[in-house]
Structure 1
Amino acid sequence: MSYKIVMDSCGELPESYKKDGHFERVPLTLDIDGHLIVDDETFDQADFLKRVAASPNCPKSSCPSPHRYMEAYTCDADHVYAVTLSAELSGSYNSAELGKKLYEEEYGEKKIHIFNSRSASIGETLIALKIEACEKAGMSFEDVIAAVDAYIADQHTYFVLESLEALRKNGRLSNLKAFVANALNIKPVMGATPQGTICQKDQARGMNRALKRMADYVAEEIKNPAEKIVAISHCNCPERAQFVKEEIAKRISVKDFLILDTAGVSSLYASDGGIIVVA
């Protein structure tokens, strides 16, 4: 039984998976002062961060079209799964659902399921890897969906950023009180709610203290850590990602760690120096 996993480009893929025909990333588009950047394998993070630093405006992102999703679903695979950014943060999920309707109108019924990650970035990656594991175990389409839904419900997302400006200016922090503490070097420890919205969990003075607090939350809230892969994505700060890995490892023993650099959309919202942890 063949399968395909379609993921929007907010999710990062390990290098070994980029040439795997079971996976396809559908790109979002980034806009910096009218300069459009497609978030695909051509994305140049260094150039992007340079443009962001030079611009007085906040970059914006636009989700893939339903037609682009339909193209991704058009394949020989018997089972097709899509994994998108949290539906609370992006139109990507709705676009993926519309793409399924377009496909069915054009070609008829097919086993296509769209997962709302209720997360972002490396959270999508872990969900895609969970789908792969279920398929390789020979599970039925319906059983894969049930297992992955349970996995998403149990997943935790955390992040600490140098700046919340990109999130604030793009309306992703609308439910939070304005955070004005730059002069005190206060860094909020952020997380995702079960619904996939952003919440503030804590705060600390200085980046290292905030990262340690985030590691505390990971250790406290992750159930059955020995069975879990802890994934860390970072925007241009591999040493910081390594620090977070070591802090988590001091607190709990986990199955494995996965560390990846942020792709385009995640780089936009994490901003230079941001760290995202999902388990």
Structure 2
Amino acid sequence: MSYKIVVDSCCELPDELKKDPRFEIVPLGIEVGDWRIQDDETFNQAEFLRRVAECPECPRSSCPSPDRYKQSFDCDAEHIYVVTLSANLSGSHNSAVLGKNLYEEKHHDKKIHVVDSKSASGGEAQIALKAMELEEKGLAFEEIVQQLEAFRDEMNTYFVLNNLETLRKNGRLTGVKALVASTLNIKPVMGATEEGTIIQLGQAIGLKKALQKMADIVARETANPQKKCLMITHCNNLAKAESVRDMILAKAKFAEARILDTAGISSMYANDGGIIIAV
């Protein structure tokens, strides 16, 4: 069976898959003051971070329309898997579901499943890569859907950011009751609930110690790491991402470790220097 994997642009696909015909990235919109762009292949992280630093207003995002998702289903593939940002963080998931419903009103020639990643960034990438792996094994669509949902439910997301202001001002920290004072250089270690909302797991003084604490948590909490891929995404902070990878691999042996740079939406929320882990 032919297949296609559709992801929104918060998904950090490896470079070799960005132009793979089996994948399509549906872009979200980004606004920094008067500057408006699509989070697509033209995204320039350096320019974006400069504009964010210079703009007094908080950057904002806009999700794709249902019709844009509907367009992505108009293809030759018989099986389509859609992976979106957590429904608790973005309207992208709802748009994808509406797009699927609109498409199926007039078309009955393919099977479509929309996955709420309950994560973001590398978490979406993990699910997309799993969908590809299962399809390449030749499994039935219904079996793949079941395994994808189970894979998603077992996955954990962790992150440490230099700056939480974008998440806070955009209302993405509603599940966090109290945040430590940034003036004390205390960095929280964050994670996600089973529902895909953000929680605080711990804290440390300074970025270096917070990353060490996150690495310890990842190594301790990951079951059967030898069967899993360690996915690390970073916003303009490759050296720290490599350091975190090395700290984790010193404590737990993973089947694979990938480091990817953030595109637009992930860069907006991670801010300069942020590190995100999905496993």
* Bin for the TM-score computed over the shorter chain: over 0.9
State the match for 2:50 in structure 1: 50
Look up the match of 1:251. 251
Q: Could you tell me how far apart the structure 2 residues matched to 1:67 and 1:132 are?
A: 24
Please give the alpha-carbon distance, in whole angstroms, between the structure 2 residues aligned to 1:120 and 1:15. 17
How big is each residue's C-alpha offset from its partner over 1:83-118, in whole Å with a ceiling of 9 and x where there is no partner?
000001111110000000111123235300000000
> For 2:254, what is the secondary structure of its paired residue?
coil
Which residues in structure 2 correspond to 1:27-106 (within 5 Å)? Answer: 27-106=27-106
**Aligned twin of 2:14:** 14
SS of residue in 2 equivalent to 1:139: coil
Structure 1 runs, 4 residues or longer, greater than 2 Å off? 106-110
Once the 2 structures are TM-superposed, how far is the Cα of residue 180 of structure 1 from its aligned partner? 3.9
> How many Å apart are 1:182 and its aligned residue?
1.4
Q: Distance in 2 between matches of 1:182 and 1:277?
A: 22
- Which amino acid is the alignment partner of residue 252 of structure 1? A
Tell me the equivalent position of 2:271.
271
Looking at structure 2, the residues matched to 78 and 85 of structure 1 have their Cα atoms a distance apart, in angstroms, of: 23
1:105-144 correspondence to structure 2 within 5 Å: 105-108=105-108, 110-144=110-144
Identity among equivalent positions (%) equals 56
Q: Which runs of 5+ in 1 are unaligned?
A: none
Deviation at 1:177, TM superposition (A): 2.4
In structure 2, list runs of 5 or more residues that go unmatched.
Answer: none
- Residue 54 of structure 2 aligns with an amino acid whose one-letter code is A
> Residue 243 of structure 1 aligns to which amino acid in structure 2?
S
Q: Name the CA distance, whole Å, in 1 between partners of 2:97 and 2:52.
A: 32
Distance 1:109 1:178 in 2: 49
Question: In 1, distance between residues paired with 2:108 and 2:142?
Answer: 19
2:228–2:256 Cα contact (<8 Å) kept: yes
- Letter matched to residue 45 of structure 2: Q
Alignment partner of 2:250: what SS? helix
- In 2, Cα distance between equivalents of 1:178 and 1:67: 39
Question: Aligned partners of 1:19, 1:9: CA distance in 2, in Å?
Answer: 13
Could you tell me how far apart the structure 2 residues matched to 1:213 and 1:191 are? 12
d(CA) in 2 for partners of 1:236 and 1:71? 33
Residue 217 of structure 2 corresponds to: 217
Q: Which residue of 2 aligns with 1:162?
A: 162
How far apart, in 2, do the equivalents of 1:199 and 1:90 lie?
A: 16
- 1:24 matches 2:24: yes
Letter in 2 for 1:256: E
Q: CA RMSD in A?
A: 0.8
Q: What is residue 240 of structure 2 aligned with on the other side?
A: 240
The residue type equivalent to 1:105 in the other structure is E
State the distance in 1 between where 2:92 and 2:53 align. 26
Is the partner of 1:251 in helix, strand or coil?
Answer: coil
